[in-house]
Amino acid sequence: MKYASFWKRVLATLIDWTLFAILSGALAYAVTGKPAGNDDFHWVNNGIFFLFYYVYSAALESSYKGGTLGKQLLGIKVTTERGKRISFPRASIRYMSRLLSFFLAGFGCVMVLFTLKRQGLHDQIAKTIVIENA
């Protein structure tokens, strides 16, 4: 197994976040009728982003494709430490743990650079790895 590089993982996340920023912003505007910068828009936008991104990430990472659209575009996928497809509950744990990784000033994500299996804190908690598609 070849572990995915830190930069491929970062780029995949940026692709997904860009897609969801556009979608959640459009939905928040449709719901509130108010532009970005408004408090109502802000709270609705963040709620939509968090909820939809969770479902999107957990569903696609636990699917047979093993990754979000960003990961699929870059040819990487999330698996168990043994290279098997992950379950939706494990993908959910990984997603929630990734929030912890970000809240620790991103340190949990930067750990990918320093671990043998290129695992972030969220991967270690969920017992997952991110690999190059074969």
> Mean per-residue pLDDT for 9-14?
97
pLDDT for 37 equals 86
The distance between the two most distant Cα atoms of the chain, rounded to a whole number of Å, is 49
Q: Is the pLDDT of residue 36 over 90?
A: no
pLDDT for 35 equals 86
pTM of the entire structure? Answer: 0.91
- Tens of pLDDT, residue by residue over 51-107, are 999 999 999 999 999 999 999 999 999 999 999 999 999 999 999 999 999 898 889
Residue ranges per structural domain of the chain: 6-132
DSSP per residue, 66-95: -S-HHHHHHTEEEEETTSPPPPHHHHHHHH
DSSP per residue, 89-113: HHHHHHHHHHHHHHHTTTHHHHGGG
Q: Is the pLDDT of residue 116 over 80?
A: yes
